[in-house]
Amino acid sequence: MKLRSLIVDDEIHARENLKYLIENYCPEIEVVGMAANEAEARQGVESLKPQVVFLDICMPSGTEGFDFLDALPEKKFQVVFVTAFKDYAIRALNANAIHYLLKPVDVDDLKLAVKKLVSTNQLFTENSEQLINYMKSLENLSKALLPSAAVPRITINHAKGFKIVDPNDFMYLAGEGNYTSIIFLDGSKYVDTKSIGVYEEILDPQRFFRIHKSHIVNVMCVKEFINNDGHFVIMKDNSKLAISRLRVPQFLDFFKQGKKS
């Protein structure tokens, strides 16, 4: 069964182009409506009951995509943000369980987003609690889009759904290809589908330091620095992690400048 979708964008060419791409390359999705403004979008959600909303983040007419979402009492659909932003906005979106597409929309990126939509919809069908967790990941997202804002929480994917966490509870992270293992202060561990490079972008640089291509540490959890047959840090759980030789000067300077406090 196809997922019912609504396209929201105040530019007619953008709406029509996305509709064309979906209809010609994404048989899993059915476009049941399009909207040019917040009023039309609200009406479309109420009458068409879409399972997916493709939503332009910022519409020049004055309607912000986040304002539209915040105004809805219930959001029982997945959101794919369509955006021309390529910097801090992506940082905020990557921190949440949010699908997004960069304009101009690339067909392969669209296909990948649709694949995730289908998989996530199946998850919601099997476990309604995960739909609630997904919607929580949308809350206050507009605040996280501010360039100077620290990401207050991160949504990580695990085998059974989504988990919303405070990044300050991370002890360290270990990159494993396209996945990242997150070790928490309480000793628990989750494997997320975000790469460690994504985490380097979204974590607070005043608290987290990438010591190696495979590791990011919470500097508040560094117990000891060792310079003997290599360079290492000892974490609070006594894990011994190597520091790349090229990163040692920056790492030491990080502490000397008092960023740890």
**pLDDT value for 63:** 53
Give domain 165-256's CATH number out of 2.40.50.1020, 3.40.50.10890, 2.40.160.20, 3.40.640.10: 2.40.50.1020
Burial category of 21 from C-beta neighbours within 10 Å (exposed 0-12, middle 13-18, buried 19 and up): middle
Q: Which letter, b or e, does each residue of 41-56 get, where b requires 16 or more Cβ atoms within 10 Å of its Cβ?
A: beebbeeeebbbbbbb
- pLDDT tens readout for residues 87-121: 656 666 777 767 889 889 999 999 989 998 998 88
Domain edges within the chain: 3-143, 165-256
- pLDDT tens readout for residues 207-216: 999 999 999 9
- pLDDT tens readout for residues 146-200: 555 566 788 887 767 778 899 999 999 999 888 999 999 999 999 998 899 989 9
Asked if 156 and 192 touch (Cβ cutoff 8 Å), the reply is: yes
Q: Which two tokens stand for residue 154?
A: 């991160």
Distance between start and end Cα atoms, the chain: 54
> Which CATH class name applies to 3-143?
alpha beta
